[in-house]
């Protein structure tokens, strides 16, 4: 089991094994690199200072999309690559990469005109290899208004209906991590890199690391070292005392999303709409909420990149933009039930605004052979990982005469994703619905579990049945039992160490089901404290969680 219970064993292995590659950073990019390296036969370790996906990889718009706006910027190659990657991810993880219709309203003096949109979406379909049934449909003004009655009609000229794919970015990161572990990678969260160790030729041969839970400092030996820390790439590069061989640096931009109850913005499908300053924004219904975003503003490097926050200005911008396009709803701050703010690690381009900077990734290799990767998109993480792993092999071939193996991650089914197709996902939901109905839960609960855990949801359901069999009380809280079963699974299979790991990145409850947390918070904290062997008390767990909880529900002045 990939369990927090065995954390000491994992750390002992980090201390004693000499690895081919150490990956620093446990977001989607680092996870993808660990999987690619491990699947090609390399001995890999991965460390993450926070939790897996705690940075940018749990704070995106949660779409695996082809980037329609990049077509307008003539980044044809990027659109083609991520479009193909989207299809690969859907095939390898269909419960987490799910097709959904996206409506693009065309408005007077908007970003996209009717002819340009029709042609652009047609090109987009062709470049991305979109299936026939998912290809774009152009709509008249009347049909667009009927498709989404909340749209403002006085400026509406028509619309385009096309397909995007929704995901849970943190869950996707977790499943990639678990798949890497299945291939032999040693992946650990809450471990930071603090210093590099060099040989007599000035090459990095080891990394001093710190266990952020115990405070212990130890050394990890590896022939190659990869820096995949996203917004922290420059921080880790600064630990390297050798020549960086590049004068490029990151320009961080902040993206904020707000979550409101679905009944306050009851959209029939996702909308990609114009906002007054010439940008575009998403409004995406999900379960009982709708989330809106994103902003794209320069983030001052003097600010705290570990805890980016939504500011009052961000909130005002998003709400006013939504109210312009959906004038009947008139959202206010009181409607906001949660939010998230994330940082994009873009590569600085002189004279360009945050929205204009390319999302392409780039690899930097220092004189000490620290391989750093920055830029890129969630959708393209697998190809980014392939390019980095190729660089790792270059080093290993030259220095240690390794034989390079071809990448085949496009054929690797991710953890929980072993379904024949999307219809099989729905069939699995039906099967688990029947099982859950026997203990008082519903098809909605089965839907939630399968879209979170895929085929692994069966393990959670079996635990629910087991816990229910131990408690014969008629008035038992089945949703607490469901949460306890989830916690058992996430502790034993997903390295949960605190309440934020569980409520934010494993279950998404704080973002999308916030009202479900309060009734179960205390018993879940007690349960987790017991799992952790009382090394951290229930009170300490609650105090830690309160800090992240406040980040989600309050805003900077």
Alpha-carbon gap, residue 557 to 312, rounded angstroms: 5
Q: Which of 72-81, 389-398, 420-429 has the lowest mean pLDDT?
A: 72-81
Output the CA torsion sign for 271, 272, 274, 279. Answer: positive
CB 497 within 8 A of CB 190: yes
Is CATH 3.50.50.60 what the domain over 4-56+170-249+360-411 is classified as, yes or no? yes
* Residue intervals in the chain for CATH 3.30.9.10: 99-166+251-347
Mean pLDDT score, 306-320? 92
Q: What is the pLDDT of residue 134?
A: 79
Percent of the chain with pLDDT over 90: 75
Of 545, 485, 227, give the one whose Cα is nearest residue 369.
227
Confidence of residue 278 (pLDDT cuts 50, 70, 90): confident
> Which value, to the nearest 10 degrees, does the dihedral of the CA atoms of residues 381, 305, 493, 544 take?
-170
CATH of domain 99-166+251-347: 3.30.9.10
Tell me if 42 sits within 8 A of 261, measured CB to CB. no
Give the tens place of pLDDT for each residue, 150-167: 999 999 999 999 888 999
- Give the integer Cα–Cα distance in Å for 430 and 436: 10
| Residue 294: cis peptide before it, omega within 30 degrees of 0 | yes
Report the alpha-carbon distance of residue 427 to residue 423 in Å, rounded.
Answer: 6
Q: Does residue 300 register a pLDDT over 80?
A: no
pLDDT at 359: 65
Q: Report strand pairing: 44-48 vs 280-286.
A: unpaired
Predicted local distance difference test score (pLDDT) of residue 536: 85
| CB count in 10 Å sphere of residue 442 | 12
Answer whether residue 439 shows pLDDT above 90. Answer: yes
Q: What is the mean pLDDT of residues 171-182?
A: 98
Indicate the pLDDT class of residue 206, thresholds 50, 70 and 90. Answer: very high
CA 92 to chain centre: 16
Percent of the chain with pLDDT over 70: 94
pLDDT above 80: residue 428: yes
Instruction: List the one residue out of 354, 249, 248 whose CA is nearest residue 299.
Output: 354
pLDDT computed for residue 82 by the predictor:
75
Q: According to the model, what pLDDT value does residue 106 have?
A: 94
Q: What is the dihedral of CA 414, 418, 422, 425, to 10 degrees?
A: -110
Cα–Cα distance, 430 to 402 (Å, whole number):
48
**pLDDT grade for 72, boundaries at 50, 70 and 90:** low
Considering 129-143, 296-310, 501-515, the range whose residues carry the highest mean pLDDT is 501-515
Q: Which pLDDT score, from 0 to 100, does residue 302 have?
A: 57
210 has pLDDT over 80 = yes
Range(s) of the chain covered by CATH 3.50.50.60: 4-56+170-249+360-411
Distance, CA of 10 to CA of 409 (rounded, Å): 25
pLDDT band at 130 (very low <50, low <70, confident <90, very high): confident
Query: Average pLDDT of 394-408?
Result: 94
**pLDDT value, residue 249:** 84
Which of 112, 113, 128, 139 lies closest to 163 in space, CA to CA? Answer: 128
Task: Say how far apart CA 295 and CA 552 lie, in whole Å.
Answer: 16
528 has pLDDT over 90: yes
- What is the CATH number assigned to the segment(s) 422-553? 1.10.8.870
As a whole number, the mean pLDDT across the chain is 92
Per-residue confidence (pLDDT) for residue 491, from 0 to 100: 97
Higher pLDDT, 159 or 350: 159
User: Mean of the pLDDT values across residues 298-311?
Assistant: 78
Residue 356 has pLDDT above 60, yes or no: no
Would the pLDDT of 353 be above 80? no
Instruction: Report the alpha-carbon distance of residue 118 to residue 161 in Å, rounded.
Output: 10
Please tell me the distance from the alpha carbon of residue 327 to that of residue 322, in angstroms, as a whole number.
Answer: 8
**Segment 446-461, tens digit of pLDDT:** 999 999 999 999 999 9
Helix axes 381-400, 76-92, angle to 10 degrees: 90
Whether residue 74 has pLDDT greater than 70: no
Question: pLDDT-based confidence at 69, cuts 50/70/90?
Answer: low
**Does the structure show a pLDDT above 80 at 351?**
no
Half-sphere exposure of 148 (CA within 13 A, CB side): 33
């Amino acid at each position: 089991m990939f369990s927090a219970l065995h954390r000491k064993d994992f750390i002992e292995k980090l201390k004693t094994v000499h690895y081919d590659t150490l990956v620093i950073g446990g977001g989607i990019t680092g996870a993808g690199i660990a999987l690619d390296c491990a699947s090609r036969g390399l001995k890999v370790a991965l460390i993450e200072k926070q939790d897996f996906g705690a940075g940018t990889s749990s704070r995106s718009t949660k779409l695996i999309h082809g980037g329609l706006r990049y077509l307008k910027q003539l980044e044809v190659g990027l659109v083609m690559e991520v479009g193909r990657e989207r299809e690969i991810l859907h095939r390898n993880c269909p419960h987490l990469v799910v097709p959904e219709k996206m409506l693009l309203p065309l408005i007077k003096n908007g970003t996209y005109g009717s002819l340009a949109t029709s042609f652009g979406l047609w090109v987009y379909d062709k470049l991305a290899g979109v299936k026939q049934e998912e290809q774009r449909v152009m709509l008249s003004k009347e049909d667009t208004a009927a498709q989404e009655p909340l749209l403002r009609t006085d400026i509406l000229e028509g619309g385009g209906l096309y397909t995007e794919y929704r995901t849970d970015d943190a869950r996707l990161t977790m499943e990639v991590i678990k798949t890497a572990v299945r291939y032999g990678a040693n992946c650990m969260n809450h471990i930071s890199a603090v210093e590099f160790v060099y040989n007599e030729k000035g090459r990095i041969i080891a990394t001093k690391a710190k266990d952020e839970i115990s405070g212990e400092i130890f050394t990890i030996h590896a022939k190659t070292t990869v820096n995949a820390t996203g917004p922290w790439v420059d921080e880790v590069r600064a630990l390297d005392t050798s020549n960086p061989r590049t004068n490029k640096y990151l320009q961080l931009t902040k993206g904020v999303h707000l979550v409101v109850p679905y009944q306050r913005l009851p959209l029939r499908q996702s909308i990609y709409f114009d906002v007054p300053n010439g940008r575009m924004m998403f409004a995406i219904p999900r379960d009982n909420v709708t989330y809106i975003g994103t902003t794209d503003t320069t983030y001052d490097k003097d600010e705290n990149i570990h805890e980016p926050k939504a500011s009052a200005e961000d909130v005002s911008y998003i709400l006013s933009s939504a109210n312009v396009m959906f004038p009947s709803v008139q959202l206010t701050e009181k409607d906001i039930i949660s939010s998230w703010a994330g940082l994009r690690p873009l590569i600085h381009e002189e004279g360009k605004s945050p929205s204009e900077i390319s999302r392409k990734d780039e690899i930097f290799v220092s004189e000490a052979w620290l391989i750093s990767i920055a830029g890129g998109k969630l959708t393209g993480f697998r190809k980014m990982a392939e390019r980095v792993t190729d660089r790792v092999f270059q080093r290993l071939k030259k220095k240690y005469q390794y034989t390079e193996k071809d990448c085949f991650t496009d054929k690797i089914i991710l953890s929980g994703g072993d379904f024949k197709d999307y219809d099989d996902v729905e069939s699995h939901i039906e099967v688990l619905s029947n099982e859950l109905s026997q203990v008082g839960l519903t098809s909605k609960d089965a839907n939630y579990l399968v879209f979170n855990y895929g085929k692994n949801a069966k393990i959670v359901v079996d635990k629910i049945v087991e816990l229910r069999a131990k408690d014969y009380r008629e008035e038992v809280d089945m949703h607490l039992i469901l949460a306890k079963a989830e916690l058992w699974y996430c502790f034993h299979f997903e390295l949960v160490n605190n309440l934020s790991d569980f409520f934010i990145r494993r279950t998404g409850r704080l973002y999308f089901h916030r009202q479900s947390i309060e009734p179960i918070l205390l018993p879940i904290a007690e349960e987790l404290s017991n799992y952790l062997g009382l090394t951290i008390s229930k009170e300490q767990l609650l105090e830690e969680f309160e800090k992240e909880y406040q980040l989600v529900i309050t805003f900077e002045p």
